[in-house]
């Protein structure tokens, strides 16, 4: 899907200011002078942020951006209770699953970004009134292809020989009453809190889009990720340094085969709700860019962002790129391998000074390890108790499995 042509408009108000502002302390160690920010915003950066982490939509990379931003500024995260990885998913979110939340007496949280099935009335119990709400959508064609590999163990996909096999025999493989059925149909619609098996009509999809527009300040598009980051950092009054990132939880695309036009049409039809939402917000995404900035400004910022990413890769990464899971040397940086997907990761360069190593490590740390680190920072005593209990359980299980002496 091609990006629309821009109308010529003046640059985003208030964003282009003095040049040569100092690089942020986080990025300063060991980085080339060329990474100095291109501008510094005069507005006040937003720090109360909610991100709806939609599955398989580059959302782990956004999550890493939020983790780093919040950690550098000592902000508080609304983390899953007991160090879980998700916020009650796939059930509707309730405030009580946030660690440290006590109705009416909890200190305010700054950032919430773990997987949940969205229910705004419950999110509002946790987050401040001035919270900025945003999410991201992905072309359902690519999302379905990715989901089939990643969620291969779910009830709908498990016995299907291929994605085409599933699409050709959905009545055989798909049971809408199964609790994991959403992984194989209209997954984005489900994550936003709607019925993924709901009726498909122009009126219905328009209503869903209007509800999302009312509840969210911004919806990004994964296929235009760098453009999305420019729009996001302007909306949040952040700098380019705040949104520079490497892809996190990215699947190895070399294992994929090109989809036929027939398969593409079947995916669109099967995920009709997701498809209509994607079309709507792809249009509104470009309308917002067109209204708020010039084409020259967007191209300038995207180019600067990509240059930062390139320089960071030179500074941080062996080979300046991602690697296969079996090539990852530091298990702290090894992403979870799930289903039949091949998730890529990174190796850091040897010999980095400690400050640069920590900065680079944060850029490539998978979400499970990063979440654990943030949990230990916010809830050190409970994190210790959970760790001790886990170790005791592991030791007990190993003892049970150990054969008795004198027996073969």
**What digits encode the pLDDT tens for the residues 297-311?**
999 999 999 999 999
State mean pLDDT over 337-362: 96
Looking at residue 254, its pLDDT comes to 79
What is the pLDDT confidence band of residue 402, given thresholds at 50, 70 and 90? Answer: low
Report yes or no on 220 lying in a domain: yes
Report yes or no on 370 lying in a domain: no
Does residue 40 carry a pLDDT above 60? no
State mean pLDDT over 203-223: 97
Looking at residue 153, its pLDDT comes to 96
pLDDT tens, 126-154?
999 999 999 999 999 999 999 999 999 99
**Hey, is 36 helix, strand or coil?**
coil
Query: How far is 125 from 120, CA to CA, in rounded Å?
Result: 9
Looking at residue 14, its pLDDT comes to 35
**For residue 44, what are its two tokens?**
């006040």
Nearest to 289 by CA among 5, 16, 61, 62: 5
Cβ-count burial of 388 within 10 angstroms (0-12 exposed, 13-18 middle, 19+ buried)?
A: exposed
pLDDT tens, 369-390?
999 999 999 999 999 999 999 8
**For residue 129, what are its two tokens?**
């009134």
Looking at residue 54, its pLDDT comes to 98
State mean pLDDT over 173-187: 97
Looking at residue 4, its pLDDT comes to 55
Distance in angstroms between the alpha carbons of the first and the last residue of the chain:
65
Query: How far is 2 from 224, CA to CA, in rounded Å?
Result: 10
Mean pLDDT lowest for which of 129-138, 350-359, 393-402? 393-402
pLDDT tens, 161-176?
999 999 999 999 999 9
Nearest to 369 by CA among 323, 315, 319, 333: 333
Report yes or no on 374 lying in a domain: no
Looking at residue 392, its pLDDT comes to 87
Q: Per this entry, what is the length of the chain? A: 408
Mean pLDDT lowest for which of 44-48, 167-171, 391-395? 391-395
Higher pLDDT: 314 or 29? It is: 314
Looking at residue 324, its pLDDT comes to 95
Looking at residue 32, its pLDDT comes to 40
CB atoms within 10 A of CB 161: 8
Report yes or no on 315 lying in a domain: no
Looking at residue 326, its pLDDT comes to 95
Torsional sign, CA 159, 162, 166, 168: negative
Query: How far is 165 from 149, CA to CA, in rounded Å?
Result: 13
Query: How far is 227 from 104, CA to CA, in rounded Å?
Result: 39
152 lies in which domain range? Answer: 46-250+263-307
**By the 8 A CB rule, do 89 and 118 touch?**
no
Query: How far is 155 from 176, CA to CA, in rounded Å?
Result: 10
**For residue 223, what are its two tokens?**
């296929």
Does residue 215 carry a pLDDT above 90? yes
The domain total for the chain is 1
What letter does residue 343 receive in the DSSP assignment?
A: B
Strands across the sheet containing 49-52 = 111-112, 49-52, 132-137, 218-221
Mean pLDDT lowest for which of 119-128, 184-193, 395-404? 395-404
Looking at residue 42, its pLDDT comes to 73
State mean pLDDT over 168-194: 98
Report yes or no on 321 lying in a domain: no
Query: How far is 309 from 248, CA to CA, in rounded Å?
Result: 13
Query: How far is 35 from 23, CA to CA, in rounded Å?
Result: 7
CB atoms within 10 A of CB 385: 11
Report yes or no on 67 lying in a domain: yes
How high is the mean pLDDT of the chain?
89
Cβ-count burial 352-361 (b if 16+ within 10 Å, e if not): beeebbebbb
Query: How far is 336 from 60, CA to CA, in rounded Å?
Result: 12
**By the 8 A CB rule, do 128 and 119 touch?**
no
Does residue 395 carry a pLDDT above 70? yes
Looking at residue 318, its pLDDT comes to 98
CATH number of the structural domain spanning residue 54 = 3.40.50.300
Give me the half-sphere count of Cα atoms (radius 13 Å) on the Cβ side of residue 49.
27
State mean pLDDT over 324-337: 95
State mean pLDDT over 82-99: 97
Packed helices 225-236 and 272-292: angle between N→C axes, nearest 10 degrees: 60
**By the 8 A CB rule, do 277 and 205 touch?**
yes
Q: How far is CA 232 from CA 114, 188, 207, 244, 323, in A?
A: 18, 20, 25, 12, 28
Report yes or no on 327 lying in a domain: no
Mean pLDDT lowest for which of 33-47, 212-226, 308-322? 33-47
């Amino acid at each position: 899907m091609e990006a629309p042509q821009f109308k010529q408009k003046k640059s985003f108000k208030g964003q282009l200011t003095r040049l040569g502002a100092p690089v942020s302390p986080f990025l300063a160690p060991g980085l080339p002078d060329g990474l100095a920010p291109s501008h510094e915003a005069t507005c006040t950066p937003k720090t109360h942020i909610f991100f709806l982490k939609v599955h398989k939509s580059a959302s782990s990379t956004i999550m890493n951006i939020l983790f780093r931003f919040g950690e550098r500024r000592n902000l508080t995260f609304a983390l899953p209770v007991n160090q879980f990885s998700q916020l009650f998913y796939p059930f509707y979110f309730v405030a009580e699953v946030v660690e440290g939340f006590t109705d009416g007496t909890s200190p305010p949280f700054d950032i919430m970004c773990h997987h949940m099935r969205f229910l705004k009335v419950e999110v509002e119990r946790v987050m401040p009134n001035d919270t900025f709400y945003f999410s991201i959508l992905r072309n359902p064609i690519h999302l379905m292809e990715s989901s089939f590999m990643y969620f291969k163990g779910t009830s709908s996909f498990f016995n299907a020989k291929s994605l085409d096999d599933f699409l050709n025999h959905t009545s055989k493989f798909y049971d809408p009453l199964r609790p994991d059925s959403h992984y194989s149909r209209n997954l984005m619609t489900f994550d936003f809190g709607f019925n993924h098996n709901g009726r498909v009509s122009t009126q219905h999809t328009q209503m869903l889009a209007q509800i999302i527009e009312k509840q969210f300040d911004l919806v990004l598009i994964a296929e235009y990720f760098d453009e999305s980051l420019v729009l996001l950092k302007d909306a949040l009054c952040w700098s380019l340094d705040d949104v520079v990132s490497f892809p996190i939880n990215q699947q190895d695309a070399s294992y994929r085969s090109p989809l036929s036009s027939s398969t593409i049409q079947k995916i669109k039809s099967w995920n009709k709700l997701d498809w209509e939402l994607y079309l709507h917000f792809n249009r509104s995404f470009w309308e917002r860019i067109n209204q708020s900035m010039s084409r020259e400004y967007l191209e300038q910022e995207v180019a600067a962002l990509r240059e930062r990413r390139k320089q960071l890769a030179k500074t941080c990464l062996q080979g300046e790129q991602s690697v296969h899971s079996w090539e990852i040397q530091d298990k702290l940086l090894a992403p979870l391998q799930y289903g039949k997907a091949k998730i890529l990761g990174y190796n850091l360069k040897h010999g980095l000074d400690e400050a640069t190593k920590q900065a680079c490590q944060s850029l490539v740390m998978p979400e499970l390890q990063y979440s654990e680190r943030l949990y230990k920072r916010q809830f050190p005593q409970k994190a210790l108790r959970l760790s001790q209990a886990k170790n005791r359980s592991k030791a007990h299980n190993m003892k049970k499995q150990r054969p008795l002496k004198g027996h073969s």
